[in-house]
Chains A and B, each alone.
Chain A
Amino acid sequence: MRRFFYVLFAVVEKDLRLEWRTKESLLVMVVFALLVLTLFSFAFGPGGGSGENARAVQAGILWISFLFACVIGLSRTMSVERESAGFSAMYLSPSDPSALYLGKVVSVAVLMGIMEVVGFAVLAVLYQANVWKSAGALAIVAISATVGIAAAGTLFSAMSARTRTREVLLPVLMFPVLVPVLIAAVKASEAHLGGGGWADSRDWIRLMLVYDVVFLVAASLVFEYILEE
């Protein structure tokens, strides 16, 4: 068990250090998320429209932009792994593939978390959204969604990185599988952006947690077959 976490943290440490050196993924993720958030404002009108529907639109815009930015970031991270044959090197070691997978998920989730903080701040400014009042609740929503997105994203990007088309395939594989997370994250965020209580978001958060657990367990078990050359 100790060894499991030792390896897991070694992967996280390596990924974050690499990211800190190059800032390749994070920068492009944040800029891309900002861009999409702004573009949607042009598409739906300032502040995502007016009236009751605005908050639903805002929540939708937010998570769509996070999802898109995540695809960009994942492609970057995985192309670094591909260039250095990182997965093969991992598979040469006697480490537990699930530890390697979960380490990768954690580092992806950390990058996404940083991007999301910026995203929420921008939402508060550009869309006059009530982010601060329910920041705690939104953080819980964001964390449960991010774990799911990172879990699926890591698995599928590791796969698509080894195909001929690479990046093109990632959204095609990833988005349909992430539909439950998208729905739940949007609905739960919508509830809290509207000043709603836990009653409106509890079930959605629970759904995301179920998704997270199912996906993390299943992907940990099969990651070995992705690493193999």
Chain B
Amino acid sequence: MSEARKVLREALILGAAAVLTAAAVRVPLIKRFARGEFRESFFQAGDYPGIRMIALEEAEDLWRAGQTAVLDARAEEAFKRGHVPGARNVPAAGTGGTIPADLLGAARDRTLVVYCEGGDCLSSLILARRLHDEGFRDIRVFGGGWEEWRKAGLPEATAERDGTGKKDDGQE
């Protein structure tokens, strides 16, 4: 057998081994998929009862009511370029996975709206789960995110026009 064919055969066997290993290790997850879970979203809603996905209209209503802490899970640079007015920047990455202490002081039943860039970005879900782990029980993830907010022509703020973006610190 030529060397090239031997190398290719090794690579193919590694691929097959990966398929078999994944199938063996993830039997429960595959069964759940076969039952119809994860067809709409990979979010395991059952594990996080306090987290709910919301659409633009609900996000806008909550924001206009002004009783909700709006949290932007994107990186600081993206937040500075533009964000939902009054939103607070709590990057899902780069902060060691910690929630700011003052935010942790907020009542656990307070409604929190979390968003990130949009297009099924992950940051808002990561932050939402972290908040859920801290005991918050009314976390609403605005899936459309910043992209949808902007496209809808809703008010925007930048770091300059909105101070530090820390107007709403999540406390009552």
A binds B: no
Interface residues, chain B, with chain A CB atoms under 8 Å away = none
